[in-house]
Amino acid sequence: MSKLYGKSKREIAELLRSKDIHPTAQRIEMAWCLLSRPQHLSADEIRLMLNQEYEQVSQATVYNNLKLFAKKGVVQELIVSSDRIYYDSNPNPHHHFLDLDTGKIEDIPNCALQISQMNINACIEDVSVIVKGRRKQLDLEQVHP
């Protein structure tokens, strides 16, 4: 199996082709940025990353390509709320922790969460949980009384 992150641009082009996506230069750049490491990026963040180093890419182009990537399983779409959508470079099933103080999103391994008491009469294909919370501050007085 090829590595998940840090693929070369040639490998990215092959990945896109294997997902039935025509590998245009722009799409290769986008996927290369996204898949460089485990991360959760908004469409705006991806557009800013692209525009820093390459030609100006329109918001519509970025948005359309991200939708295509998500549909074809290159990235996962993570909908935190209607105005906060992220693109996740980890294609494997997993859950998330959203730190409400920093806005940072972290992965929670799939095995860390068990969902057993659901009474849903359906064939469940995917479960994605977003845990929202605030990190507990380390109380120094308790550590050093």
Q: Which residues bind Zn ion (CB under 5 A)?
A: 88, 90, 107
> Least distance to Zn ion from the beta carbon of 8, Å?
23
Q: How far is CA 58 from the centre of its chain?
A: 21
Q: Is the Cα torsion angle 65, 39, 71, 133 positive or negative in sign?
A: negative
**Distant-in-sequence, close-in-space partners of 143: CB < 8 Å, separation ≥ 6:** none
> Least distance to Zn ion from the beta carbon of 17, Å?
25
- Of 61 and 128, which has the nearer Cβ to Zn ion? 128
- Of 29 and 88, which has the nearer Cβ to Zn ion? 88
> Least distance to Zn ion from the beta carbon of 143, Å?
31
> Least distance to Zn ion from the beta carbon of 119, Å?
27
- Of 45 and 107, which has the nearer Cβ to Zn ion? 107
- Of 58 and 92, which has the nearer Cβ to Zn ion? 92
Grouping H, G, I as helix, E, B as strand and the rest as coil, residue 50 is helix
